[in-house]
Chains A and B, each alone.
Chain A
């Protein structure tokens, strides 16, 4: 079922005119592939400077003089701005060779970690948006906040590392 849907998606993408355009641009604009990859990496850097730092702060490891609520308000927009850039630059490479990505187990793993990471970020921000002290009001909430930060940290580290391992999937999953 899942494989069938992926095959269909890969075939649709492979035949799309968007793919024709992307393949043409990547092959004819000098330096475009590393430039698009750099946009992707710079956006990852923005995620590192925002949600990853917030996670480290909530866990009590970094930026001790700035309150978590204030950091969320100030830094979280960087993550939300980076995501569309990540999606667009990533889509360029998926369109260039759909089957290379869609049937890659590490690509699947990356998105299996990305989805909960984004959901946790949204939940954490929304809950604290109405009341800056939301995550500090009770012992239970403080524990919950730390648990979310810890999970978020592991998920984002996993997403970034899996992103690089897509190219080496045959080493992790031989055969």
Chain B
């Protein structure tokens, strides 16, 4: 077990101690679950559209334009509440293998989204209204789907590991 000065400092903040002590942690946790399931639910919708499995009569661009702001808003709430959970036991979480896997998968999911927005979506005009989007778009959707299931699984696994 390695203690990092940064995480130890974070744990020692009055607000961290307050959250860890009583109703703060479960409140953060329940908000985190609420916001995260919304994030995954809305991303699932976009992924299934990219895979050509749902909402085929709607242009991809319209679905993403209308849903992504909600996804990002819920994501911000989720990160904030998740950070609240993290503060009180930062060293413990950083040492937790499931937590490490979750962070790595989150990074991959973010990269996957980045590739879609910077690269794949450039050619969107060609497949926006197609029932089956381009191979690259379908690959992005499939990766996103698998990554988010993995993120949920590793997140849920954190509490089952003692370290």
A residues at B contact (CB < 8 Å): 31, 33-35, 37-38, 41-42, 44-50, 52-53, 56, 62-66, 74, 157, 160-161, 163-165, 167-168, 171-172
Contacts and interface: CB of A to CB of B under 8 A. Distances in A.
A66 B156 contact: no
A117 to B, nearest CB: 14
Interface stretch (B6-14, B31-39, B116-124, B131-139): B31-39
A66 B54 CA distance: 15
A41 B33 contact: yes
A63 B26 CA distance: 31
Contacts of A37: 156
Interface stretch (B41-49, B89-97, B104-112): B41-49
B26 A49 contact: no
Contacts of A33: 160
Contacts of B18: none
Contacts, number: 85
Given A46-B44, A66-B66, A167-B26, A52 B156 contact: no
A70 B108 CA distance: 34
A38 B153 contact: yes
B153 A160 contact: no
A24 to B, nearest CB: 18
B156 A44 contact: no
B29 to A, nearest CB: 6
20 contacts: A31-B157, A33-B160, A34-B157, A35-B153, A38-B152, A38-B156, A41-B152, A44-B41, A48-B37, A48-B38, A48-B40, A49-B42, A53-B42, A62-B70, A161-B30, A161-B33, A164-B26, A171-B22, A171-B23, A171-B26
B149 A42 contact: yes
Size bracket of the B interface: 20 to 34
Identify whether the interface residues of B are mostly helix, strand, loop, or mixed. Answer: helix
A37 B33 CA distance: 12
Identify whether the interface residues of A are mostly helix, strand, loop, or mixed. Answer: helix
Contacts of A34: 153, 156-157, 160
Given A45-B37, A48-B40, 15 more contacts: A35-B153, A41-B37, A44-B37, A45-B41, A48-B38, A48-B42, A49-B38, A49-B45, A50-B41, A52-B38, A53-B41, A53-B42, A160-B30, A164-B29, A168-B23
A162 to B, nearest CB: 8
A160 B33 CA distance: 8
Contacts of B62: 65
Contact of B34 (A38, A42, A56, A161): A161
B154 to A, nearest CB: 8
